């Protein structure tokens, strides 16, 4: 039987996303001390398209390293995951880098692939990118990661194990305690025999990291500033984008690259749909994202802390990056 092209989409059953956005913007911008916006809001349609461009910039080697590892080691990775298996991917994006591992798994079995994404546009791209793989059905879940994973786990058939893909070092956008907390919650949804393939970007020289997050074409700056543009579009705010600038800085304690938006002048901004009028001092920043970088051995400890065992690791030599295979024993 040819399962090519089988695709379904399960829509989100959430509260009004604009209200949720307004509440999060209000909470982040009225904090005492450092103003903050959640990095998940970087990814509307414009932000997701800009991220696709970032991923092909010469200075940003992360996505290419991830893809190289998955392409080179797909068969070996698949060999660690005996069938029958269902695959859940958290934050599939366009699905491009996942093709290799899915094809390797499909060689000896029919598989169900469940991309879990909050962006319906990304889910549609993923279906276009991967819909041609033989012997694979795709059911997209428009959900937050763990909500989607719970639903996927509930749908699995008897005897079927689950392989979770969390690629691209998205885990690095959580701070270290939150990352372990998130993986612990994931572990509780899984069963012995299940596994997690986790991508982690590794430490590298600070100038190289800063160039990756502040590229000369200004794509990362546009990606960051789009968050203010999004607040203007969706919450009727009046941020003047020219009055803010993108800043990337390395935080040595957290071992992360932080992105901020710095106010170029003293100014005030109104955000009507969040019921907010705010003032910014010159040089004050809004912290929008942190990307944590890991040592080679750290994933082994993270696995233990979260209740997994790190069974294998593959490292890219060109751009230090690791794929780590965590198993539930």
- Can you give the binding site for ligand AVI, defined by CB under 6 A? 54, 62, 168-170, 172-173, 213, 220, 289, 291
Nearer residue to ligand AVI within complex by CB, 118 or 269: 118
Q: Can you name the residues that pair with 248 across neighbouring β-strands?
A: 259
From the CB of 275, what's the least distance to ligand AVI, in Å?
A: 29
Is the separation of the CB atoms in 116 and 148 below 8 Å? yes
User: 297: burial class by Cβ within 10 Å (0-12, 13-18, 19+)?
Assistant: exposed
**Distance in angstroms (rounded) separating the CA atoms of residues 308 and 302:** 8
Q: Closest separation between CB of residue 176 and ligand AVI, Å?
A: 14
Alpha carbon of 12 to those of 23, 44, 120, 128, 235: distances in Å?
19, 16, 9, 20, 21
User: Distance between CA atoms of 101 and 70, rounded to whole angstroms?
Assistant: 6
Residue corresponding to tokens 């543009």: 229
Give min distance, CB of 235 to ligand AVI, in A: 22
CB of 291 to ligand AVI, least distance (A): 3
Does residue 222 contact residue 258 with C-beta atoms inside 8 Å?
A: no
CB neighbour list of residue 134: distance below 8 Å, 6 or more residues apart: 2, 3, 4, 106
Question: Between residues 62 and 139, which has the closer beta carbon with respect to ligand AVI?
Answer: 62
Residue with tokens 């990304």: 122
Nearer to ligand AVI, 92 or 220 (CB): 220
Residue 17 CB burial class (10 angstroms; 0-12, 13-18, ≥19): exposed
Pick 130 or 171: Cβ nearer ligand AVI: 171
238 CB-side CA count, 13 A:
10
CB of 71 to ligand AVI, least distance (A): 19
C-beta atoms surrounding 128 within 10 Å = 12
> Minimum CB separation from ligand AVI for residue 231, in Å?
18
Residue 88: both structure tokens together: 């859940």
Least Å distance, CB 283 to ligand AVI, is 22
State the minimum distance, in angstroms, from the CB of residue 114 to ligand AVI. Answer: 20
Cβ proximity to ligand AVI, 57 vs 328, nearer residue = 57
> Is the CB of 224 or the CB of 263 nearer to ligand AVI?
224
- Kindly tell me which of 55 and 112 has the beta carbon lying closer to ligand AVI: 55
| CA angle 275–281–283, rounded 5-degree value | 125
Nearest to ligand AVI by Cβ — which residue? Answer: 291
Helix, strand, coil fractions of the chain, as percent rounded to 5? 40, 25, 30
Nearer to ligand AVI, 22 or 54 (CB): 54
């Amino acid at each position: 039987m040819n399962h090519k092209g089988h695709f379904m989409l399960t829509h989100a059953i959430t509260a009004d996303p604009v209200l949720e956005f307004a509440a999060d913007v209000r909470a982040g911008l009225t904090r005492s001390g450092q103003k903050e916006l959640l990095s998940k809001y970087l990814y509307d349609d414009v932000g997701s398209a800009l991220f696709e461009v970032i991923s092909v910039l010469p200075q940003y080697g992360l996505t290419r390293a991830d893809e190289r590892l998955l392409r080179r080691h797909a068969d070996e990775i698949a060999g660690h995951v005996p069938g029958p298996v269902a695959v859940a991917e958290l934050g599939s994006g366009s699905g491009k880098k996942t093709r290799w591992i899915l094809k390797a798994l499909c060689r000896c079995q029919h598989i169900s692939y469940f991309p879990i994404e909050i962006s319906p546009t990304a889910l549609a791209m993923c279906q276009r990118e991967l819909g041609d793989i033989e012997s694979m059905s795709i059911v997209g879940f428009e959900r937050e990661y763990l909500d989607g994973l719970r639903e996927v786990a509930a749908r699995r058939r008897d005897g079927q194990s689950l392989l979770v893909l969390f690629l691209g070092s998205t885990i690095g956008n959580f701070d270290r305690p939150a990352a372990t907390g998130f993986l612990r919650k994931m572990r509780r949804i899984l069963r012995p025999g299940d596994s997690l393939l986790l991508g982690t970007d590794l430490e590298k020289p600070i100038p190289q990291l800063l160039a990756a997050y502040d590229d000369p074409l200004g794509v990362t700056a546009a990606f960051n500033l789009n968050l203010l543009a999004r607040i203007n579009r969706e919450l009727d705010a009046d941020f003047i984008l020219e009055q803010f600038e993108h800043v990337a800085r390395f935080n040595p304690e957290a071992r992360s690259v932080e992105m901020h938006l710095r106010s170029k002048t003293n100014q005030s901004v109104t955000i009507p749909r969040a019921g907010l009028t705010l003032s910014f001092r010159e040089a004050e920043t809004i912290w929008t994202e942190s990307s944590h970088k890991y040592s080679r051995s750290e994933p082994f400890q993270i696995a233990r802390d979260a209740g997994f065992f790190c069974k294998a690791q593959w490292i890219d030599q060109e751009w230090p990056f690791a794929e780590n295979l965590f198993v539930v024993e």
